[in-house]
Amino acid sequence: MTARNDFVATFGGVFEHSPFIAERAYDGGMIFVPLTAKGVHEAMVTVFRAADPQEKLGILNAHPDLAGKLAIAGGLTQESKNEQAGAGLDRLSPDEHARFTELNAAYVAKFGFPFIIAVKGLTRDDILAAFETRVGNDADQEFATACAQVERIAHLRLLALLPET
């Protein structure tokens, strides 16, 4: 296996189901050893920000609904499963689950992609409050907010794999 293949195999899922981010960062000569979370994140964010709007939308759409159907069916990536469980989203009451389902549907109908938030360190109440606020955003504002959250999630995932600096 080549160093490129190893890199993509290890970091290709940092941006949810979007290995092209890792591939482009590696192929663009932006990856330097020793690997650090900060360095790899900077490279991958550079690629993400340079992606065309359709590619970014594809990455947003690769994210699961919070506490949604994939979570119930066990279809989340291990990273997403751990992140949602850490925020207690795997232990919602029936009323809380109904509220998340309602907000997920309204959000996707309005913006065309799932609600994305870096849940690490947040409670169910924090997430619900952010959800209720952000569903009122305009499309451009929310696209930018969702992209910023994707970048934050990627950073947190890299911190789990690599030293910070």
Tell me the per-residue pLDDT of 117-144, one tens digit each, with 9 for 90 and over.
Answer: 998 899 888 999 999 999 999 999 999 9
Distances, alpha carbon 41 to alpha carbons 99, 104, 145, in Å: 34, 28, 18
Q: Does this model's pTM top 0.95?
A: no
Instruction: Identify the active-site residue in 17, 41, 63, 155.
Output: 63
Its domain, for residue 46, covers 3-51
Decide if pLDDT at 19 tops 90.
yes
Q: Give me the number of domains the chain comprises.
A: 2
Q: Looking at the structure, do residues 37 and 112 belong to the same domain, yes or no?
A: no
Residue 56 lies in a domain: no
Scan for tokens 């981010």, then name that residue.
21
Nearest alpha carbon to residue 117 among 90, 92, 69, 80: 80
Catalytic residue check, 63: yes
Residue 123 lies in a domain: yes
